[in-house]
A and B are shown apart, each in its own frame.
Chain A
């Protein structure tokens, strides 16, 4: 049982809300209106005059309004709505009386304040429910004491505790007495059948602010005395700064300071435009500090690595060599992917105020705790002196896992001795990235007597290889002789996690390969997948390294083939299937491609998902639709090359992201489940590329081996 660490009641306190004027602060909360019922007039929530802090998660107002802190960073995965929903469910409060606030970094009170790996809901599932249940238990105990009865005789509904003799007390009336009690170590949790909030669609809690343009994002930060900073970084990976001339930059109205730090130059100005303009006017000379790498060079290096033998296996079942030697047939294919920038719509930025007494950091960061420790080392200041606040983020996709821009902001503030807001231009954002690395996979399989006897996957990647768990994804367990290995080339180009790390490309490669195998074997692609999953059931029982559930994946495939009417598509509609497990969630997708002006166009994607209990159906569907569109878009168009260390694109005029008119329709279905919930920020993305590639093959007879597909000019124009 996870204890939330803020158990000592001495830390709980009463406090007066000083902002409340005579009539009370009245806020309109648009999310109160059910998102399917816009006709319903907005209800107004009156803020209380006094709050009682029950725990780090929960404050209860004297009028029964409850504030729930959302512990994890919000990057658009909608945890700021779904995590408090889970707390509210167990607390027993009416959702319309809930105010959500973003918690700051507080490692004593909250576990894992990270946005990444689609883990917030899965890892928070127990602690969030317990946080709500503990406070509910205290409120019940306080009511029972007042009525001189036992807690077992009391019930809780919509913010009230009910006693055995028609008694009724609101949370607001009970809070101050309840707060004097010890927080219970052990509490009972509701069963799924009792849920009134979980499983019901709830609108985004920041909706009103988003649609009226209120300050929400890091880039919107304004603080007293704050200046703006832009940084000129070396234009190519491998460049070293030799010299620079800042004469023109300093003449820009509003530019107050220019200085070098490392190989970078900071321009400090009183407004963003002046900082950007000043940066543009800097004249700098660079020398070659390390190798200036190009895409052709990477291709050659990765191909060499793919062909290298005797690479240590990440997983090695049976004897692949013998299986291949005895096979009727061996199929070998190579799949290639480029680097990808993240392209969060909000460019990287961060606020830093490095003072003698403390350091304040605020902005969009997926890993506040890691950032605090990095800044602590950089500035040689104890972590206790560093506060990190989290703003809503204009996208993350893995880029904001890396706090390089927070460190830059802290260093600039430290050197300039002023609070600053560091802002990346779009060009900075795309050219100083932490890219999804270029990867190649060679996949080989042996067929004997109508079944797949051996499977070998070799990976060659820039900088890093598959995470430890991925070798234990499908088809591990499904094929008796299986070997997975990886090698990497160490580059000076910075690389890192990108939405659904590794599987964002691996799933395409494998799911394309299985389609080709099915064709070779004369089998229906769905049948082959279901058969392999059936084989995997035996080993999945005994091998605890196996991460996916063959049975749950089969259910997803059956559901999606049923909904898409697999095998019976209308004339001129070509279907391709792909099924992939990642980030603890099982997903199957069927893409439909139609020919338009002689080129294939993705018209629709059907999707079946098993993510266990669905917390917020509306938000869940939104995540799945977005992941599919993002996955289709990057498989079709995403491409970043390097020429002598310099990225090939610097802005959206030359870098193609999927646009509205290119987005396929999406239909989402959930497998009914009582299993614990898993996350949805990533898992619908990996299968998308494979589903599209397999549908394009049906439409054109051409297999896609290389992303982006738009490079196959002969079919895509």
Chain B
């Protein structure tokens, strides 16, 4: 089995996995970083969103062999859970079941990296790819707005 070296949350990690193994399962099963969630496996729901060099990426369709760059997962978004987006999530008491929320937060954090002050429409469009079956969309919009004001 080939060995891959990836940079995750500030650390270099070595894993022995098949080359087609999606980054999602490397994170969850090999590196025990289970905050990144499996939702659909075909890049349609956003639950598996991580950052690669600051860009939001769907880790469920990203083979380990193609991962270049620095990977950040929800566990590494901030040291003390105090990224402006995480703080805003608390302020608006966003989650219901909570399952999709780490993907939502990662998408939202990447958005404000690139667009510090997104409009309401830009927020809706950026968050379009992340499904929440509980329907917490309104709170997500408000939280992104709050975080962007603070950022």
Contact = CB atoms under 8 A, between A and B. Distances in A.
Interface of A: 28, 30-31, 33, 35-36, 38, 75-78, 201, 203-204, 206-208, 210-217, 219-220, 222, 228, 252-254, 271-274, 276-277, 343-347, 392-397, 423, 425-426, 618-619, 622-623, 625-630, 633, 651-653, 657-661, 663, 665-666
Contact of B134 (A28, A214, A426, A626): A626
Contacts of A423: 38
B69 interface: no
B91 interface: yes
Given A77-B96, A208-B81, 17 more contacts: A38-B87, A76-B98, A210-B95, A211-B105, A213-B35, A222-B32, A271-B17, A273-B21, A277-B20, A344-B133, A345-B131, A394-B99, A426-B42, A626-B134, A629-B138, A660-B128, A661-B127
A213 B36 contact: yes
A115 B93 CA distance: 21
Given A211-B101, A216-B98, A345 B135 contact: no
A347 B38 contact: yes
A409 to B, nearest CB: 17
Interface in B101-151: 101-102, 105, 124-125, 127-141
A207 to B, nearest CB: 6
A35 B93 contact: yes
Contact of B18 (A76, A203, A253): A253
B47 A345 contact: yes
Given A630-B134, A651-B40, A271 B29 contact: yes
Interface of B: 1, 17-18, 20-22, 25, 28-30, 32-42, 44-45, 47, 73-75, 77, 80-81, 86-93, 95-102, 105, 124-125, 127-141
A77 B133 CA distance: 12
B42 A651 contact: yes
A271 B28 CA distance: 9
Contacts of A254: 18
**Most chain B CB within a 10 A radius of its CB, from A38, A623, A665:** A38
A628 B17 CA distance: 44
A665 B87 CA distance: 23
Contacts of A393: 97
B91 A213 contact: no
Nearest to A215: B34
Contacts of B101: 210-211
Contacts, number: 198
A345 B89 contact: no
| Most central of B28, B102, B135, B137 by chain A CB within 10 Å | B135
17 contacts: A76-B95, A78-B96, A201-B93, A211-B101, A212-B74, A213-B34, A271-B30, A273-B25, A273-B29, A343-B133, A345-B37, A345-B134, A346-B39, A393-B97, A618-B93, A622-B139, A630-B134
B1 to A, nearest CB: 6
Contacts of B98: 76, 204, 206, 210, 216-217, 392, 394
Contacts of B36: 213
A395 B90 contact: no
B95 A207 contact: yes
B94 to A, nearest CB: 8
Nearest to B33: A213
B36 to A, nearest CB: 7
Nearest to A653: B44
A619 B139 CA distance: 12
Contacts of A253: 1, 18
B128 A661 contact: yes
Nearest to A626: B135
Contacts of B88: 38
Contact of A625 (B77, B90, B95, B139): B139
Contact of A345 (B25, B32, B100, B140): B100
A512 B91 CA distance: 38
Nearest to A38: B91
Contacts of B21: 273
A214 B40 contact: no
A253 B20 CA distance: 11
A636 to B, nearest CB: 13
Contacts of A651: 40-42, 44
A277 B87 CA distance: 38
Closest 5 A/B residue pairs (Cβ): A213-B35, A76-B97, A394-B99, A629-B135, A213-B74
B138 A204 contact: no
A183 to B, nearest CB: 34
A232 to B, nearest CB: 15
Contacts of A75: 97
Given A207-B93, A272-B28, A659 B44 contact: no
Given A212-B75, A213-B102, A425-B41, A30 B90 contact: yes
A219 B38 contact: yes
Contacts of A343: 133
Nearest to B104: A660
Nearest to A270: B29
| B20, B36, B101: most-surrounded residue (chain A CB, <10 A) | B101
A28 B130 CA distance: 29
A661 B101 CA distance: 17
B93 A663 contact: no
B96 A622 contact: yes
A346 B102 CA distance: 13
Contact of B135 (A77, A208, A220, A663): A663
A663 B127 CA distance: 11
A35 B142 CA distance: 13
Contacts of A216: 98
B97 A207 contact: no
Contacts of A252: 18
A623 B96 contact: yes
B136 to A, nearest CB: 6
B29 to A, nearest CB: 4
Contacts of A618: 93
B39 to A, nearest CB: 6
Contacts of B80: 28
A35 B44 contact: no
Given A271-B30, A660-B128, A211 B136 contact: no
A522 B98 CA distance: 47
Contacts of A625: 135-136, 138-139
B135 A659 contact: no
